[in-house]
Amino acid sequence: MRPRERAFVAALCAERAGLRLDHRPGYLMESALAPVARREGFLSTSDLVRAARDRADDRLSSAIVEALAPAQTAFFRDPEVLGAALDALPFHRGEPLRIWSAGCGAGQEVYSLAMLLAERRSPAAVEITGSDLSQRLIDKAEAGLYSPFEVQQGLSAGRLVEHFEQLGEGFAVKPRLRAGLRWRRENLLQDAPEAGRYDLVLGRYLLSSLGPSARTRVLALLRAALKPGGCLLLSPHDAIAAYALGLEPLGSAPGLFRQSAAVAQAA
Amino acid sequence: MKTCLVVDDSRVIRKVARRILEELGYRVAEAADGAEALAQCRAAMPQAILLDWRMPVMSGPEFLRRLRIEPGGAEPKVIFCSVETELGRIREALEAGADEFMMKPFDAGIVAGKLHAAGAA
């Protein structure tokens, strides 16, 4: 790809999804777009990008942006932190609990939470929603089907045997783990999730890929989605932004914050 | 320094595994079959073992069965390494006393993750 084509792609990603790509080397852009070019029948990534630009093709443009949004690909990323976030949930209230994983990629974080909850044998009903910019990833997440390589990213053999069943060469999440999960495609720059709905919101490895104004907007959305007393889990290096919003650090895990009930009422 | 014994009849696999394990800070020993591995364990019990399933002389499962009744043989974290991707086979390996199961091909990230899951890292 030529510098002008790369600049077009960077501008497209910034405009549509708030993504900041300027610090990423060009070859990563090429390797992320190569599968899209192949799938769409172009001979090169340059041809793909020029087609999106010259025809102002909305579908191709979306495919380009979605391919460049970084996605979490591992199960049980920082498992102690996930455990601490679940510990902070008000199970004792006996009401159904709601969790939202923002930028859930192909669903690994959502299924990790579902496995942890199943292993805790909690009687409380928990509804987990995963959302992502990419429809392809949401479709994959909903299917719950992973290759042998994918299930080895962070998933123990014991959990694989316990929670998955064989499907051809791959592994499918068992139906009982998928009950209570919801999936939606969502662009956090354009769509606003329902405010005050969730007991726990996870936005890990999400903010650092965004430009400053997109980051501010997304963080405000994540916070607004919390119920009074609800918890927000961010990557440790994004934590500074949560302090600025007046969230209280919980101390049981880096990046875990609670929306104080008082602040929520005032807001 | 933590030690890991790589048991595989393929020299290429042993070499790949050695490079990854050394980068993870392990001292690495190699064995080409279960009998050789058992002799090495009797001399010095490693903290972790990467174990191939099918090997000449003595297979992986046979080695594991014998290892676990050796003095100190319950200690090493054993990770089966196989081209098999059948859940039934993975379940069988865990029931035979393996701590983890790794499907080939693997990379450094997977090896590190499996050692951690097995409790060896």
Q: Give the residue from A72, A115, A156, A169 with the most B CB atoms within 10 Å of its CB, the best one to mutate.
A: A156
Record the tokens describing residue A137, joined without a space. Answer: 């990833």
CA A64-A65-A71 angle, 5° bins: 110
Q: For residue A62, what pLDDT band results from cuts at 50, 70 and 90?
A: very high
Chain A residues within an 8 Å CB radius of B88: 166
Q: What is the mean pLDDT of chain B?
A: 93
A161 in contact with B, Cβ within 8 Å? yes
Could A156 and B87 be called an inter-chain contact, meaning their C-beta atoms sit closer than 8 Å?
no
Question: Which residues, other chains included, contact A178 with Cβ-Cβ below 8 Å and sequence gap of 6+?
Answer: A114, A144
Could B110 and A157 be called an inter-chain contact, meaning their C-beta atoms sit closer than 8 Å?
no
Domain boundaries, chain A: 3-68, 79-142+174-266
A146 in contact with B, Cβ within 8 Å? no
CA A230-A232-A235 angle, 5° bins: 165
CATH number of A79-142+174-266: 3.40.50.150
Domains of chain B: 3-118 (3.40.50.2300)
Structure confidence at residue A264 (pLDDT): 47
pLDDT digits (tens, 9 = 90+) for A112-142: 999 999 999 877 899 999 999 999 999 999 9
Residue B101, classed as helix, strand or coil, is strand
Structure confidence at residue A87 (pLDDT): 95
Nearest CA in chain A to B88: A161
pLDDT > 70: percent of chain A: 97
Residue with tokens 């070019």: A37
Short-list B39, B54, B55, B118, CA closest to B89: B54
Structure confidence at residue A246 (pLDDT): 80
> What is the rounded end-to-end Cα distance, in angstroms, of chain B?
12
Q: For residue A262, what pLDDT band results from cuts at 50, 70 and 90?
A: low
Closest partner CB to A161 (pick from B87, B105, B117):
B87
Q: What is the mean pLDDT of chain A?
A: 91
pLDDT digits (tens, 9 = 90+) for B9-63: 999 999 999 999 999 999 999 999 999 999 999 999 999 999 999 888 888 999 9
Could B110 and A158 be called an inter-chain contact, meaning their C-beta atoms sit closer than 8 Å?
no
pLDDT digits (tens, 9 = 90+) for B53-105: 988 888 899 999 999 999 999 999 999 999 888 999 999 999 989 999 999 88
Closest partner CB to A158 (pick from B85, B86, B94):
B94
Distances (CA, A) of A259 to A130, A245, B113: 21, 10, 33
ipTM value: 0.87
Closest partner CB to A166 (pick from B87, B94, B114):
B87
Could A152 and B110 be called an inter-chain contact, meaning their C-beta atoms sit closer than 8 Å?
yes
Question: Which residues, other chains included, contact B58 with Cβ-Cβ below 8 Å and sequence gap of 6+?
Answer: B33, B34, B35, B37, B38, B66
Is the pLDDT reported for residue A266 higher than 80?
no
Short-list B28, B23, B40, CA closest to B2: B28
CA A255-A259-A262 angle, 5° bins: 150
pTM of the model: 0.90
Chain B residues within an 8 Å CB radius of A78: none
Is the pLDDT reported for residue A265 higher than 80?
no
Nearest-Cα distance to chain A for B58, in Å, is: 24
Is the pLDDT reported for residue A42 higher than 50?
yes
